[in-house]
Amino acid sequence: MNRELRIFLKHGLLLFLALAMIGPFLWMLGASFKPNAEIERLALLPDDVHAQNYAIVLRQAPDPHTGHLLNLSFPRWYFNSFFVAAWVTSLQVMTSAMAAFAFSRLAWRGRDTVFLFYLGTMMIPSIVLMLPNYQIMVKLGLVNTYRGLIVPMAFSAFGTFLLRQFMITLPRSYDEAAEIDGASALQLFLDVILPLARPGVVALAILTFLGNFQSFAWPLIMVKDDYLRTIPIGLLSFQSDYGQQTELIMAATVMNIVPLIALFIVMQRQLVAGIQMGGVKG
């Protein structure tokens, strides 16, 4: 097999995989513009573009089946998803950075052993931890509150591991220079190490925000009232309250994921750089 044929087959395979991955998204996008009568068709493009689906979801137009505005709070769900994801991201980045600094730059007895135990928590499936976490939230009276959605997610063994791997690549000469200048450990962390670890911090922030914006299981068991629902939980209303209105579900889902795709595209270089630089030394 000559070189040109191998290159052709390789690119053909990559193109096929790309189409297979993007195909469901394209169908979802097309379905969000279809009327209900066309929703079962496999065609990507609708015969009649029905942009009214988005207006119905946003309560700017009545549901054609009932003639009334749907009893949905999509803007509120959107706000809740951004609010919770932003708080979780901020707290998780802060706690992970401080823990990573302690595990990578400070010398204390049993440091490596504690880190191994801390890292071992990544092997426990998150679903296993939901029951004890929920019981703790019940005892603290945080069920059905923003704090209950945010606080348990504010700590991450993965985030600590990622930033530690990044921080240990920084030369020790920075620590020595800061000590000579009389800097404390806190000043060393805030003024020297944290700014130099910016690529890793940005990568962690992106991953954390994307993951928590789409979180489903924890909000599902914590939220009781509609005003606290996030988008993934709110989308269940299209099934339970209004039957199978696929075109509206697709319109709401498109509005849900398009900002995340845009964020990933804009920040992908920082994400890749942070992950690559964090894996140089272990």
SS (H, E, C) 83-101: HHHHHHHHHHHHHHHHHHH
Higher pLDDT, 68 or 279: 68
Output the CA torsion 232→234→240→241 (10° steps): -160
d(CA 138, CA 6) in angstroms, rounded, equals 60
Is the pLDDT at 28 greater than 70? The verdict is yes
CB atoms within 10 A of CB 130: 16
What is the pLDDT at residue 80? 93
Average pLDDT over the chain, rounded to an integer:
84
pTM: 0.82
Q: Domains of the chain, with CATH numbers?
A: 3-57 (no CATH), 74-278 (1.10.3720.10)
pLDDT (tens digit, 9 = 90+) per residue, 217-268?
899 999 988 889 999 888 887 765 556 678 888 888 888 888 888 888 887 7
d(CA 48, CA 36) in angstroms, rounded, equals 11
What is the pLDDT at residue 148? 93
Distances (CA, A) of 9 to 1, 6, 118, 131, 156: 11, 5, 45, 49, 42
Banded model confidence at residue 281, pLDDT cuts 50, 70, 90: very low
CB atoms within 10 A of CB 27: 14
Is the pLDDT at 282 greater than 50? The verdict is no
d(CA 155, CA 96) in angstroms, rounded, equals 7
What is the pLDDT at residue 87? 95
